Structure 1
Amino acid sequence: MLKRLSNLEPRALNAALVTVFGFFVLFTAIHAVGYHHADEHYQIIEFANHFLGNVEGSQLSWEFQYEIRPTIQPLMAAFLISVCKWFGVRDAFDVMVIIRVLTGLFAMVVYLDFIKGLMRRHCSKLTYIWVVGAFGLWYMPYLMIRFSSENFASLFFLLGYSSLILKTNKNFLLSGIFLGLSFAFRFQIGIAIAGITLYLVIVESIKWKYLLQLILGGSLVLVALVLLDRVFSNEWVFTPWKYVQLQLMEGRAAGFGVDPWWKYFEFLWEGLTWVVAIPLLIGIVVLFVKNRTQPFFF
C-alpha cells in the first residue's frame, strides 16, 4: 500500500484523501451528537442566540458579563443560523449538522493546503507514512467538525504555518491575517504565534519588510476584532486585554485548578492510548535531538 501511495502524484494523493477521508468527515458531521466541550455550545451558540434575541444576557455564562470571550465565532454562528432560517431550516439539530459539515469541509481545505506544502518540502516515503497515519487516526474526523474556538484557532494557525514555513504562499500580509484570525478565535494561541515569529526572526532571519507585513496583517485583524466586539456588545471593548486582566493578572483562571507541566503527557496517554502516545513522544524526543531548530520547539 505504501509503495502505491509513494508512486502517486500529489494531486492523486489529494484526490484519494478527499474521497476516503472526506466520507468519514461528512459521516461524522451528520451523525455526531451534541458538543465535545460545553464551551462549544454555551459560549458560542448561546452567545449567537443572544445576539439574535433568543436568549437573555442574564442566562449566559459568567464570561459574557465580564466580556472576555472573542465574539467573532458567535457572530459567525449567528450569521449561519440566520442563513439556515432564510432557507427554511429552523430545527436546531439540523442547523448544527450544517454548521458541522461546513466546519469539516473548511478543515479539509486547510489540511490539504498543509499536505501540499509538506509534500513540496519533504517528499519522501516517511512523509507519506505520516500523512496516511495522521489522517487515519480515529479521532481526526470528530475533531475536525467541531465548531469550537480551539478548532478554528488551530485551523487558521495551520494556514499561517503552511504559508510561512512550508511556503504555500509568499504573501506575508495574508499570513499575518491568518495568524491574527487564529488569535481572534482563541487568545491563548498567542503563545504559539509568538513562537513562530521568534523562529522566523532567529532561524530564518526574516527581512524586516516581511516582518512588518506580517505584523500589519495581524494588526488589521485586531482592528476588525474590536469592531466585531462593538457590533456584538454595543460598546467599545478590547476583549484580549480584558481576558489578560481577569484571567491572568487577577488569577481567575487559576481558580479552576492548576496542573503541573507533565500533565500534558498524562493527557496524551489517556486520550490517545499508549499505541499512539509512545511513538508520538519518541518522535518528539528524536526530532529535538536531531534538529532542535524546528519551529515545533519555539
Structure 2
Amino acid sequence: METAREGGGKRGPPVRLRKRKPGLERPVPGSVAGRGVGIFGESIYLCLFTVVFRLLNCFLVQTSFVPDEYWQSLEVAHHMVFNYGYLTWEWAEGLRSPLYPLLFAGIYKVLALLSKDDVLLLIWLPRVVQALLAALADVKLYSFVKRLDNTDTARWVYFCQLSSWFTWYCCTRTLSNTMETVLTTFALCSYPVEGAKMGSSRGCLLLVALAFLVRPTALVPWAPLLLRLFWKEPRKQHLLLSHCAPVGLLALGSSAILDRVFFGKWTVVPLNFLQFNVLHNLAAFYGSHPWHWYVSQGFPAVLGPHLPFFVHGCLRAPKRHRFFLLVVLWTVAVYSALSHKEFRFLSPLLPLCMVFCGHSLATLTRWRKPAVAFLLVSNLLPALYMGLVHQRGALDVMGHLQGLCGPSAPPQASVFMLMPCHSTPHYSHLHCPLPMRFLQCPPDLTGRTDYLDEADLFYADPLRWLQEEFAGNSAVLPSHLVFFSVLEQDISPFLFSNGYEKTATFFHTHLPQGRIGSYIYVYKRHPKPL
C-alpha cells in the first residue's frame, strides 16, 4: 500500500492512497473521456427534443401553401399505389422525377397491405415522415457547425434554425423543395471543410446527386461548392475517377431505370426540366416577377426577423465562412435571372443563412437576451398564423367532402371545383373514387401568345361558361359545386335555376386577391321534382 506525507513542517500521520482497479479511472472534468459522455448525452437529448419539436410543428401546420405539396408528391403516390387519381401535365411530359413520390408510395403500399389505408393516415403519415427528416436535418446542421466552429456557435445556429418562421411553415410539407433542403443539409455535414475534423467527399457527392435527382435546381447552390472541392483537392484525377465518376454513373443510371419504369419510355427528366424552365422559359406561364424580386421581397420575407442578424453575422463570421455567403449570393443571382419566382425556391439556402445568424447571436453578449426574445416573439406570430389560419379552407373543404365517400355517402355524388386549378388536394385527401372535376390549366407547349387555358376561359365570363357547358343536359350537372366566395354573385343565376343551395362555408384567408376569396362555399344540388 502506498503512503504519502505532507511536505515541510511537522510530519503528520501517513495518508493511505487507494489503488484504483484498471479501467475504473474517473475521467477528469474537461478531459476527452469526460467530454465523450457529455457529447453522447447531449446528442440524445438534442435528437429527442428536435423530434418532438418537429412533430409538434407538423401537427400545428394545418394550412395549404402551394399546389405542388400535393400534386407533385401525394397525388402521384396515390396514383402509383391505388391506380386511380389524376396526374398533371408535367408527368405526361416527363418533367418530374418519380423518386420523391416513391417515398410516399412506399408508405401507402404498406398501409394498403395492412388494410390500414385510412384517409387520415394517408394525409398525415407522409407529413410525419417529412417532419422526422427535417428533425434529422436540424441535428445535422448543429453537428456541422459544431465541427466547423464550436459548441457555443452551434447552439445558436440550432436556435436560429428552430425559431425560423419560414422553416416552421415549410419543413414538414410534402414539397420537393423541402426534401431538397433536407438533402442539402445532409450533404453539408459531409462536405470537407478546412480545419474541420470530419468530412467525406464521396458521401457528400452521393447526397448532392440524390438532391439533384429529386429537384435539378439543387445543382445551383452546389455548383460553387463542388468547384471549390475540386480546386482544393490535390489529387484531382483521383477525385474525378474514384468519387465523381462512380457517383455520377450510379445516380444517372438508377434514375434512368426508374424513369423508364414509371414513364414507360426512356427519358431524361433533368434535361426536360432544364429545357422547360430555362431554355424555353415556359414556367413564366405560372407567373413572372421582376429581376429584383428575390432581393426586394423574397429573401427578406423568407428570412423575416432573422434578416438583421444575418447581415450582422456576415460581418462578424470568420473569413472561412465567406465562401458560404458567396454561395447564397450566387444562388439568389441565378434565380433572379429566371422569370418565374417563388418563396419556396429559397428554402435550401436557409440552413446556410442560419449559420450566419448563429454567429451574430454568439457575438452579441450584451444584447443577446433581448435579441433572443425578439426572435422568439416575432417568429412565433407569423408561424402560428400562417400554419393555423392563412389558406386553411382548401384543406377544411376536403375534410368536408370526405363525407361523400363510404357506405353512408349519397348516391351518384360528384364534385366540380370551380376554382383556380389545383387550389385543393385531390384523391390523396379523399381516398375514394368519387367523380371530381376541376378547371384545367396546362401551358401551351407550342409557345402561342394568344393561348387561354380552361380556367382563363371560365373566369372571363363564369355564368356564360357554365350555361354553355351544361346547356340542355341537366343529367350531367354535378351534385356539389365548390368555389371561392368572390364567384358567388357572378354565377348566382345558374345556381338558382339549377336548384343549388349553400350547405357549407369554410374560412380561407384574410387576404383575398383576384380569383381567391376569403371563404370557400360548398353548394349542393336539389333537383326539382318533375
- Whether TM-score is above 0.5 comes out as yes
The within-5 A match list for 1:253-268 is 253-255=283-285, 256-268=287-299
- Per-residue deviation at 1:23? 1.7
Number of the residue aligned with 1:133: 160
Amino acid at match of 1:93: L
Q: 2 CA distance for matches of 1:170 and 1:130?
A: 20
Number of the residue aligned with 1:214: 244
Contact 2:81 2:108 in 1 (8 A): no
Higher mean Cα deviation, 133-142 or 176-185?
133-142
Q: Secondary structure at the match of 1:41?
A: helix
Number of the residue aligned with 1:144: 171
Q: What is the aligned counterpart of 1:15 among 44, 63, 70?
A: 44
Q: 2 CA distance for matches of 1:276 and 1:170?
A: 29
Q: Secondary structure at the match of 1:258?
A: coil
Aligned length: 288
- Per-residue deviation at 1:234? 1.4
Contact 2:74 2:174 in 1 (8 A): no
Q: Do the aligned partners of residues 109 and 206 (structure 1) sit closer, same or farther apart at CA in structure 2, a change above 3 Å counting?
A: farther
Number of the residue aligned with 2:276: 246
Q: 2 CA distance for matches of 1:77 and 1:85?
A: 12
Q: Do the aligned partners of residues 180 and 26 (structure 1) sit closer, same or farther apart at CA in structure 2, a change above 3 Å counting?
A: same
Amino acid at match of 2:116: V
Higher mean Cα deviation, 81-90 or 124-133?
124-133
Which stretches in structure 1 are left out of the alignment for 5+ residues? Answer: 1-6
Amino acid at match of 2:288: G
Contact 1:177 1:220 in 2 (8 A): no
Q: Secondary structure at the match of 1:294?
A: helix
Q: What is the aligned counterpart of 1:235 among 247, 261, 265?
A: 265
**When the two structures are superposed, what TM-score results if normalisation uses the length of structure 1?**
0.84
Number of the residue aligned with 1:106: 133
Deviations 1:179-236 (A, max 9, x none): 1101011111111221211121235656431244034213311211111111211111
- Per-residue deviation at 1:22? 2.1
**When the two structures are superposed, what TM-score results if normalisation uses the length of structure 2?**
0.49
Number of the residue aligned with 1:97: 124
Q: What is the aligned counterpart of 1:182 among 183, 207, 211?
A: 211
Q: 2 CA distance for matches of 1:284 and 1:165?
A: 21
Q: 1 CA distance for matches of 2:199 and 2:156?
A: 28
Higher mean Cα deviation, 97-106 or 109-118?
109-118
Q: Secondary structure at the match of 1:24?
A: helix
Q: 1 CA distance for matches of 2:69 and 2:227?
A: 31
Q: Do the aligned partners of residues 282 and 265 (structure 1) sit closer, same or farther apart at CA in structure 2, a change above 3 Å counting?
A: farther
Number of the residue aligned with 1:3: none
- Per-residue deviation at 1:293? 4.7
Number of the residue aligned with 1:40: 69
Deviations 1:66-111 (A, max 9, x none): 2101110122221211112222322233223111112222222233
Larger strand proportion of the pair: 2
Is 1:270–2:297 an aligned residue pair?
no
Q: Secondary structure at the match of 1:174?
A: helix
Is 1:173–2:202 an aligned residue pair?
yes
Identity %: 19
Q: Do the aligned partners of residues 264 and 66 (structure 1) sit closer, same or farther apart at CA in structure 2, a change above 3 Å counting?
A: farther
Q: Do the aligned partners of residues 259 and 28 (structure 1) sit closer, same or farther apart at CA in structure 2, a change above 3 Å counting?
A: same
Is 1:62–2:62 an aligned residue pair?
no
Q: Secondary structure at the match of 1:145?
A: coil
Number of the residue aligned with 1:117: 144
Higher mean Cα deviation, 206-215 or 148-157?
206-215
Which stretches in structure 2 are left out of the alignment for 5+ residues? Answer: 1-34, 328-530
Q: Secondary structure at the match of 2:84?
A: coil
Is 1:201–2:230 an aligned residue pair?
yes
Deviations 1:260-288 (A, max 9, x none): 14524422333443x32222233235559
Q: Do the aligned partners of residues 215 and 9 (structure 1) sit closer, same or farther apart at CA in structure 2, a change above 3 Å counting?
A: farther
Deviations 1:24-72 (A, max 9, x none): 211232453354321010121112222235335xx43221222101110
Deviations 1:226-260 (A, max 9, x none): 11111211111111111112222122123331331
Q: Do the aligned partners of residues 118 and 208 (structure 1) sit closer, same or farther apart at CA in structure 2, a change above 3 Å counting?
A: farther
Number of the residue aligned with 2:99: 72
RMSD value, Cα = 2.8
Q: 1 CA distance for matches of 2:38 and 2:206?
A: 31
Q: Do the aligned partners of residues 220 and 261 (structure 1) sit closer, same or farther apart at CA in structure 2, a change above 3 Å counting?
A: farther
Contact 1:25 1:142 in 2 (8 A): no
Higher mean Cα deviation, 84-93 or 219-228?
84-93
- Per-residue deviation at 1:120? 2.2
Contact 1:116 1:168 in 2 (8 A): no
Q: 1 CA distance for matches of 2:249 and 2:197?
A: 22
Amino acid at match of 2:206: I
Amino acid at match of 2:225: I
Q: What is the aligned counterpart of 2:323 among 273, 283, 294?
A: 294
Q: What is the aligned counterpart of 2:312 among 263, 282, 298?
A: 282
Higher mean Cα deviation, 204-213 or 145-154?
204-213
Amino acid at match of 1:37: V
Higher mean Cα deviation, 262-271 or 100-109?
262-271
Q: Do the aligned partners of residues 204 and 296 (structure 1) sit closer, same or farther apart at CA in structure 2, a change above 3 Å counting?
A: farther
Number of the residue aligned with 1:4: none
Number of the residue aligned with 1:157: 184
Q: 2 CA distance for matches of 1:201 and 1:258?
A: 35
Q: Which has the larger radius of gyration?
A: 2
Number of the residue aligned with 2:399: none
Contact 1:70 1:239 in 2 (8 A): yes
Contact 1:100 1:145 in 2 (8 A): yes
